[in-house]
């Protein structure tokens, strides 16, 4: 009886061990230097951010370090499909992230790598692939919305110009017109990195190799019957497309060519384009046929008419009023 009992206990302990092992997982990967033919980086710390849904629940408990081969391993992780692990590391004082990983019983061990880059202030590899400008007028206010797709063709992170006293970099700069107001950053990832200094909208987010999208808008109040805007081109730009949603509006400027109607989400836009712009060249836009000027004139005539009517009424009332006996 005792041998059977010992055998049963041994089997039970072995089963518990297997069950415990099956409930844990691991994440592994490499840290590569994308500026040096993907050379692996050894002895660097990798910290994991743990999210549950959209909530960060842990940013310091899970830490690993790369070995001589640039490999890191984070083991004995609880398998919970509601958790997402994001690896991050710092290189040249810049934080880089790897792809988020979710562990499951079917995939208890998964790989996620981190690519880091050297830095540069040389902007020759930065280009604007696409620049869409949407302009509309509503109640004597011109609203300008701009959507840009930029690309860093190089192998290094572009840092722009360091601003020591502010403690950040001027990476991308976008001149704003005079009298602008109500600036809105429409790209969620850029809302923390965008700032306004004077008449300049500045992105302080460092630009690693690859694509970046930026979108923002602003208002121009009381532009009158026409509005002119000019700004220098900072990066080589393949094309700028300008869209007007109101058929009465027209636009003029050097190199601007009408391209006909263009439907977007059941709205028919007038599309204009200017192509092949190089740094230093000006982008000049003159928007015409705005209603602002005519509205102000109409208001003046209305006020003047009201004054005349009151004056005439006053004279008539005085003449008709019976004299005192």
pLDDT tens for residues 48-60?
Answer: 999 998 899 999 8
d(CA 102, CA 77) in angstroms, rounded, equals 11
| DSSP calls for 247-271 | TT-EEE-TT-EEEEEEEETTEEEEE
| DSSP calls for 174-226 | EE--TT-EEEEE--GGGTTTEEEETTEEEE-S-B-SEEEEEEEEEEEE--TT-
Tokens of 221: 């109040």
Q: Report the C-alpha dihedral over residues 223, 227, 228, 233, rounded to 10 degrees.
A: 90
**CATH number, span 23-116:** 2.60.40.1120
**Model pLDDT, residue 130:** 92
Most confident of 149-153, 175-179, 280-284: 149-153
**Model pLDDT, residue 322:** 57
**Model pLDDT, residue 294:** 46
* Predicted confidence (pLDDT) per residue in 74-126, tens digit: 999 989 999 999 999 999 989 999 999 999 999 999 999 999 999 999 999 99
**Model pLDDT, residue 265:** 87
**Model pLDDT, residue 5:** 55
Q: What are phi and psi of 250, to 5 degrees?
A: -130, 160
**Model pLDDT, residue 291:** 85
d(CA 70, CA 178) in angstroms, rounded, equals 52
**Model pLDDT, residue 296:** 43
- Is the model's pLDDT at 14 over the cut of 80? no
Tell me the average pLDDT across 244-250: 92
Q: How many CB atoms lie within 10 A of CB 30?
A: 20
SS3 state of residue 57: strand
**Model pLDDT, residue 308:** 52
* Predicted confidence (pLDDT) per residue in 182-220, tens digit: 999 999 989 999 999 999 999 999 999 999 999 999 999
Q: What pLDDT band is residue 47 in, cutting at 50, 70 and 90?
A: very high
**Model pLDDT, residue 263:** 92
Assigned CATH topology for domain 126-294: Immunoglobulin-like (2.60.40)
Q: What are phi and psi of 43, to 5 degrees?
A: 55, 45
- Asked if 133 contacts 146 with a C-beta cutoff of 8 angstroms, the reply is yes
- Asked if 259 contacts 273 with a C-beta cutoff of 8 angstroms, the reply is yes
Q: What pLDDT band is residue 162 in, cutting at 50, 70 and 90?
A: confident
Give me the residue spans of the domains in the chain: 23-116, 126-294
E strand or H helix at 240: strand 237-244
């Amino acid at each position: 009886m005792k041998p059977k009992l010992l055998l049963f206990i041994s089997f039970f302990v072995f089963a518990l061990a297997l069950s415990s092992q099956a409930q844990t997982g691991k994440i592994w990967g490499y840290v590569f230097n994308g500026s040096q033919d993907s050379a692996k980086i050894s002895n660097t710390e990798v910290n994991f951010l743990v999210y549950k849904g959209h909530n960060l629940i842990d940013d310091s408990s899970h830490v690993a370090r790369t070995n001589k081969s640039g490999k890191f391993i984070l083991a004995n992780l609880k398998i919970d499909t509601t958790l997402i692990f994001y690896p991050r590391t710092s290189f040249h004082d810049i934080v880089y992230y790897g792809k988020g990983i979710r562990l499951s019983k079917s995939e208890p061990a998964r790989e996620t790598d981190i690519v880091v880059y050297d830095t540069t202030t040389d902007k020759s590899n930065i280009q604007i692939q696409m620049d869409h400008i949407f302009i509309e007028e509503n109640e004597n206010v011109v609203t300008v919305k701009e959507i840009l797709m930029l690309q860093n063709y190089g192998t290094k992170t572009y840092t722009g110009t360091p601003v020591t006293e502010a403690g950040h970099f001027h990476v991308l700069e976008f001149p704003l017109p005079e009298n602008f107001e109500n600036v809105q950053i429409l790209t969620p990832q850029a809302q923390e990195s965008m700032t306004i200094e004077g008449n300049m909208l500045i992105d302080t987010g460092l630009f690693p190799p690859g694509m970046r999208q930026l979108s923002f808008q602003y208002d121009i109040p009381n532009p009158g019957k026409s509005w002119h805007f000019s700004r220098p081109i900072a990066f080589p730009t393949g094309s700028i497309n300008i869209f007007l949603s109101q058929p009465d509006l027209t636009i003029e400027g050097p190199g601007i060519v009408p391209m006909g109607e263009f439907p977007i989400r059941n709205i028919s836009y007038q599309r204009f384009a200017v192509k092949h712009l190089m740094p230093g060249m000006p982008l000049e836009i003159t928007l015409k046929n705005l209603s602002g000027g005519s509205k102000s004139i109409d208001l003046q005539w209305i006020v003047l008419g009201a004054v005349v009517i009151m004056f005439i009424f006053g004279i008539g009332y005085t003449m008709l009023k019976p004299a005192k006996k």
